[in-house]
């Protein structure tokens, strides 16, 4: 068992936290929460950090848990963190306007260390996160910012306003808890945001889209990042394979999305019917819809979890997870 601190990407902390738990559960491991704040998840798990951390989209850093509590206790000198040999640095971050005696705590923890301080290129880092509580841990993993930045919508050779940003596409894939060797299909693949993240995770993925431009653009985007997978042109009813394990998708909604003339309510109903027919029993359906009212259209599915995000004043994205019954 290991106790870890996850510094979550905001502002949709419930979604970020759910992603961590989904990755652990997808591996068949267990977790137990231990004094989390809204913005920082603290949990004990039998899963390794090497497995969890590189898979996450909505986590900045993962720390080995040392302390959660009041900063006054640290200010009184009640916390001593032991580090292996090598240079060290203490870093602090106040999250969402939280109050914190950052400089004082840096000095107190730094003075307690037996290691030489190196602010530029330390071998070890102690990170202090201030929320309503104070969380202290040893840095184990920092998110691949450069990788995510390079795959951002504006940095892809083919892009459109409908595209999903990579960290969010990654979270949607992770919510599905895809097991090793299983298949995943995105029938509304657009520019390929979801497929790119699925392939990055080494999953067995395929896609489809009704728009020829999207199919060609998606293949181009995948190629740009060194990926390849089957992407078919056609209505979702013709591209979703039978005996499928997982569907992860982001169907059309909002003003800029194209449905080839079909009203979205009708398209969603038709989609749920096809998905029910093609998914294996127990298969997962992880998708984004613009309104929770459409959950009722998912006949033949059990609704498991849902998280809301705001795109702009008139569009919300609801990340929803269903299981085929
Ligand atoms: C919201 S976009 C998907 C965006 C995608 N996640 C991305 O990152 O680019 C929805 C896509 O569904 C496609 N679409 C609309 N109606 C469809 C249908 N009946 N069957 C398959 N694709 C459809 C549109 O062409 C559009 O590319």
Residue whose entry in the numeric block shows the structure tokens 């037996």? 114
Which residues in the chain come in under a pLDDT of 70? 254-257
Measured distance CA(106)–CA(217) in Å, rounded: 49
Does residue 67 have its Cβ closer than 6 Å to ligand 1?
no
284 contacts: CB under 8 Å, gap ≥ 6: 176, 177, 178, 245, 246, 247, 321, 322, 323, 324
What is the distance in A from the centroid of ligand 1 to the CA of 279?
Answer: 19
Measured distance CA(64)–CA(76) in Å, rounded: 22
What is the distance in A from the centroid of ligand 1 to the CA of 104?
Answer: 52
Q: Which tokens sit at 122?
A: 């330390």
Best mutation site among 166, 185, 210, 319 for ligand 1 pocket (most ligand atoms within 8 Å of CB)? 210
The atom number, within ligand 1, closest to the CA of 249 reads: 6
Does residue 264 have its Cβ closer than 6 Å to ligand 1?
no
pLDDT of 257: 59
> pLDDT digits over 66-96, tens only?
999 999 999 988 898 889 999 999 999 999 8
pLDDT of 255: 57
Domains, the chain, in order of start with CATH, read 2-143 (3.30.2130.30), 153-324 (3.40.50.150)
Does residue 63 have its Cβ closer than 6 Å to ligand 1?
no
DSSP 94: E
246 near 184, Cβ under 8 Å? yes
pLDDT of 281: 97
Q: Whose CA is nearest to atom 18 of ligand 1?
A: 235
What is the distance in A from the centroid of ligand 1 to the CA of 254?
Answer: 12
pLDDT of 162: 82
Does residue 137 have its Cβ closer than 6 Å to ligand 1?
no
What is the distance in A from the centroid of ligand 1 to the CA of 250?
Answer: 7
pLDDT of 254: 61
pLDDT of 115: 92
What is the distance in A from the centroid of ligand 1 to the CA of 14?
Answer: 26
Count of other CB atoms within 10 angstroms of residue 43: 22
307 phi, psi to nearest 5 deg: -140, 135
The atom number, within ligand 1, closest to the CA of 214 reads: 27
Q: Which tokens sit at 109?
A: 């923890």
Measured distance CA(144)–CA(146) in Å, rounded: 6
85 near 115, Cβ under 8 Å? yes
């Amino acid at each position: 068992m290991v106790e870890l601190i996850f510094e979550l990407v905001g502002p949709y902390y419930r979604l970020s936290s759910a992603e961590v738990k989904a990755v652990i559960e997808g591996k068949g491991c267990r977790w137990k929460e231990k004094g989390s704040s809204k913005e920082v998840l603290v949990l004990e798990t039998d899963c390794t950090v090497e497995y969890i951390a590189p898979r996450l989209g909505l986590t900045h850093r993962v720390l080995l848990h040392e302390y959660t509590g009041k900063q006054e206790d640290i200010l009184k000198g009640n916390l001593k963190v032991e580090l292996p040999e090598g240079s060290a640095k203490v870093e602090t971050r106040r999250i969402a306007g939280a109050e914190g005696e950052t400089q004082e705590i840096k000095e107190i923890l730094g003075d307690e260390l037996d290691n030489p301080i190196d602010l530029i290129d330390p071998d070890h880092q102690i990170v202090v996160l201030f929320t309503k509580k104070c969380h202290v841990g040893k840095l184990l993993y920092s998110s691949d910012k450069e990788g995510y930045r390079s795959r951002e919508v504006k940095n892809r050779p083919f892009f459109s306003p409908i595209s999903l940003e990579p960290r969010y596409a990654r979270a949607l894939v992770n919510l599905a808890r895809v097991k090793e060797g299983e298949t995943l299909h995105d029938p509304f693949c657009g520019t390929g945001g979801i497929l790119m993240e699925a392939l990055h995770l080494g999953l067995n993925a395929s896609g489809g889209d009704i728009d020829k431009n999207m199919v060609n653009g998606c293949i181009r985007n995948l190629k740009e990042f060194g990926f390849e997978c089957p992407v078919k042109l056609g209505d979702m009813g013709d591209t979703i394979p039978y005996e499928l394990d997982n569907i992860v998708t982001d169907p059309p909604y909002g003003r800029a999305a194209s449905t080839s003339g079909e009203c979205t309510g009708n398209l969603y109903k038709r989609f749920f019917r096809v998905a029910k027919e093609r998914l294996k029993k127990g298969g997962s359906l992880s998708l984004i819809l613009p309104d929770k009212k459409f959950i009722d259209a998912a006949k033949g599915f059990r609704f498991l979890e849902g998280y809301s995000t705001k795109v702009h004043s008139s569009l919300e994205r609801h990340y929803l997870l269903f299981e085929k019954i």
